[in-house]
Amino acid sequence: MYIWQASLWPTFVFSTDCIEPKLKQLLCLQEQLFGKARDLPEGLDQEAEMDALIQSALQTSEIEGETLNVGSVRSSVAKQLGLEQAGLPQTTRQTESLVAMLIAATSNLNNPVSEDLLCQWQAALFPEPSLLNNISVGELRGEAAMQVVSQKGGREFVHFEAPPRAGLEKELNAFIEWFNAVDANEHGFIRAAIGHLWFITIHPFDDGNGRLARALTDRALAQTEQTSVRFYSLSAAIEANRKAYYDVLENTQNCKTRYQEGNDSQAADITAWVAWFLDVLAEAMQEGVRRIERIVAKTRFWQTHSQTVLSERQIKALNRLLDCVDTEFKQGIAARQYQGITKVSKATATRDLADLLDKGCLIPFGGGGRSARYVINYAK
């Protein structure tokens, strides 16, 4: 039995005793995060917004097994936010379209969501025809059963099956009506958790449902916080907990194990999902605080080295390292990566890195020799 087959669907129940402490923790984290954001020097708030948006674009795709080019995403975000693009790689149709959709999802927060709008967002995820599969773009899914399956040992396992195509418009309209009628008595974080689960359970499109669910969740959170500016990335936190994400979704949607005849309230119980969602939202906010602190550290780094004589390519590489410390350069930067950024020979890359080491911009990380890597020296 799937959750959408329960007689109470789409009514959801959960234990307030379990959820209330988590909501209190989130409110404290939210105040800490926005306090940090308010204290940012002028101009750095856009840096923080840009950083969160880059993470959201990269990680919402990574959850679906799609790896985007970090530089192209950064260029697309800078372009969409009207920020400086000098020295950044070229954008692509894919990254520009995705970033524009993510920004649209958290903009004009008083405007209602509609089926047409969701179709536009889904189409934005597929700006170019797919060579691998035939999917409907910009319209609801076709007649074939929508199943989440996996292969193991030559056998196919069905983890979940969405509601049938017949009546899909009715299911989606019910969700849209609920989403647009914001209930003042319903906590915004709970609304975001329910909205995510509800939309992804309906699975209205051939592809892109997960990314749209996360975009709608960001919209619900933005409406709760009454600001379109995002200082944290829920998608990044979900990606960090990807296996648990799929496990808790499956256990909540596929409720055979907890359903007892005559007690549909068990089938409608989403306590485990809401609790997991709030825990991951807390992780996202905590990481948001750390990211703001790193943006401030970047500003201080350049203040420290305002009189350090550096070449344009060294400045370019340092900025890339500072901006992508948690994505491309978790293990520091090596000569090969420096070559890729600056388009110089290996010998020049090695000399440049040694010079940055001597000037206190970098410090060694890990082993030496051919495997030598370096990270930013924030301590000087």
Local confidence band at 235 (pLDDT 50, 70, 90 cut-offs): very high
The predicted-structure confidence for 322-349, as pLDDT tens digits, reads as follows 888 777 788 899 999 999 999 999 999 9
Contact in structure between 58 and 78 (CB atoms under 8 Å): no
Assigned token pair, 196:
């995510």
Mean pLDDT of 188-204: 97
| C-alpha to C-alpha distance for 88 and 266, rounded to whole angstroms | 52
Domains and CATH numbers, the chain: 3-296 (1.10.3290.10), 307-376 (1.10.10.10)
- DSSP 8-state secondary structure symbol assigned to residue 257: G
Q: What is the pLDDT of residue 258?
A: 53
* Cα 254 from Cα 5, distance rounded (Å): 10
Q: Would the CA dihedral through 172, 126, 285, 245 be positive or negative?
A: positive
What is the phi/psi pair of residue 209, to 5°?
A: -65, -40
| DSSP for 154-169, written as a single string | TEEEEEEEPPPSTTHH
Evaluated on CA atoms 58, 139, 163, 10, the torsion sign reads positive
- Among 11-25, 196-210, 288-302, which is the least confidently predicted range? 288-302
Q: Where are the alpha helices (DSSP H) in 145-270?
A: 168-180, 188-202, 209-225, 234-240, 242-253, 264-267
Question: pLDDT tens for residues 82-117?
Answer: 877 666 778 899 999 999 999 999 999 999 999 999
**Residues sharing a CB contact under 8 Å with residue 153, sequence separation 6 or more, in sequence order:** none
Quick: pLDDT tens for 138-150. 999 999 889 888 8
- Which pLDDT score is estimated for 185? 76
